[in-house]
Structure 1
């Protein structure tokens, strides 16, 4: 089975000559972040600078920056450049709801299909996102959430075993990962990144998409009082899912 995240990064723990140039650029950036040579919110080299440094095309440099941005390691600002993402917790403006509760609130019938539950070694981007050492053991799950027996969302989640040691022992057909983690490591803060993406062939298969259509992708990291609990990617068909929320602002006195 192809990992949504790991198939992109499984070769990055060691730089070898056989690696393609975009992967070498990614590893170079990750190494500088891990060594604290580039700090949070610090600007990283531009596409042109990386292209000159590694003697590659701008497209190759752009791919490296884009994939690290997708993984939440970097953040890009139009007209300003690319920066090291903040790895500190950030309060969420979106209410985080259990997807089973969302479906039930619409009078739908919730179910799920568990595709993967496993222990893996954290490659660099996952290790950074969870705040653990590279190659440290982490839990990984891939679950398809259904509404009225129709696929609604693919969830790939990486979990810190120190904060949820019995994660792999759970029956996620009876409780969702969000619900379980909220019990054993109560959520205090979260960070979201939301964007439109075109799904891979494998994701299309899981979501039952016979024609490619844009999907809504949410990258989410969650914190408890003891640290980063999980790092997840949630992908939903654009025609079936939307985000919404309600904000209340204090009146000025």
Structure 2
């Protein structure tokens, strides 16, 4: 672990003191002087070094945490955060491949599975007909044994009957569908949502923390194939799309 030099944090004399502290630490992080995992000097040390009040130093660190540049922990102190993972915004990606592209080890666990008719709750959440027969799955995907994304998925058994005989223990649902079903149309939406308490516990984050919710549905010649909700911790991920005047490039 890289040890920080307190004298690396300097005031440049431009603007409010808290913002000078924020910019100085931000630049140390972004230029690689303080890589991920580097401990950030405690508030009292920064106060003494910079001649600033506790409130001023605290305000700077809170803002850096909001920007996702540092992670503040009550017992273990403040460290430089890992950079958010980047993902292609509109592609239907394999989550194992997504994790491997980050240079991390992939793993998954099917937390819940129910087959049968659609419940009233699921019908409302996914816009389904109560008469449909579906496979309902909740899967936690991990990267280096840490929660990466929480997936809730329904698979339409009338369109993909083979899903009824698959346990998804070896291959996660999304990858299994990519290999064993066809789709001709997809609908894709991204929104920002606060983490519900149960979801936050599974993702290892605080309840109410900002998350990115990806909702996707696919059809094959008008027949529904699957609908999925992917919940990503917002501070760990960002989604990127590149396109030109005639579509994606």
* TM-score clears 0.5: yes
Q: Aligned equivalents of 1:200 and 1:131: distance in 2? A: 20
1:193 corresponds in structure 2 to 189
- Preserved contact between residue 106 and residue 144 of structure 2 (Cα < 8 Å): yes
- Preserved contact between residue 154 and residue 235 of structure 1 (Cα < 8 Å): yes
TM-score (norm 2): 0.57
CA pair 129-187 structure 1, distance change in 2 beyond 3 A: farther
Shift of 1:126: 4.8
1:209 aligns with 2:234: no
Shift of 1:124: 5.6
Per the alignment, in what secondary structure is the counterpart of residue 177 of structure 2?
A: helix
Measured against aligned partners, the alpha-carbon deviations of 1:26-66 in whole angstroms (never above 9, x if no partner) come to xxxxxxxxxxxxxxxxxxxxxxxxxxxxxxxxxxxxxxxxx
Q: Aligned equivalents of 1:132 and 1:107: distance in 2? A: 37
Ranges in structure 2 where 5+ consecutive residues have no aligned partner: 1-88
- Preserved contact between residue 111 and residue 145 of structure 1 (Cα < 8 Å): yes
More strand per residue: 2
- Preserved contact between residue 141 and residue 149 of structure 2 (Cα < 8 Å): yes
Give the one of 145, 155, 166 matched to 1:159: 155
Runs of 4+ in 1 over 6 A off after TM superposition: 128-132
Q: Aligned equivalents of 1:248 and 1:95: distance in 2? A: 16
- Preserved contact between residue 145 and residue 153 of structure 1 (Cα < 8 Å): yes
1:96 aligns with 2:106: no
Shift of 1:226: 5.5
Q: Aligned equivalents of 1:165 and 1:101: distance in 2? A: 26
CA pair 197-153 structure 1, distance change in 2 beyond 3 A: same
Shift of 1:182: 1.8
Measured against aligned partners, the alpha-carbon deviations of 1:163-193 in whole angstroms (never above 9, x if no partner) come to 2112243243421212211222222221112
Shift of 1:212: 3.8
Structural mapping, 1:66-215, within 5 Å: 94-123=90-119, 126-127=122-123, 133-210=129-206, 212-215=208-211
Shift of 1:118: 1.3
- Preserved contact between residue 111 and residue 147 of structure 1 (Cα < 8 Å): yes
TM-score (norm 1): 0.56
Q: Aligned equivalents of 1:186 and 1:243: distance in 2? A: 25
Shift of 1:157: 0.5
1:12 corresponds in structure 2 to none
- Preserved contact between residue 94 and residue 245 of structure 1 (Cα < 8 Å): yes
- Preserved contact between residue 141 and residue 158 of structure 1 (Cα < 8 Å): yes
- Preserved contact between residue 114 and residue 173 of structure 1 (Cα < 8 Å): yes
Per the alignment, in what secondary structure is the counterpart of residue 205 of structure 2?
A: coil
1:218 corresponds in structure 2 to 214
Cα RMSD between the aligned structures? Answer: 2.5
Q: Aligned equivalents of 1:126 and 1:210: distance in 2? A: 25
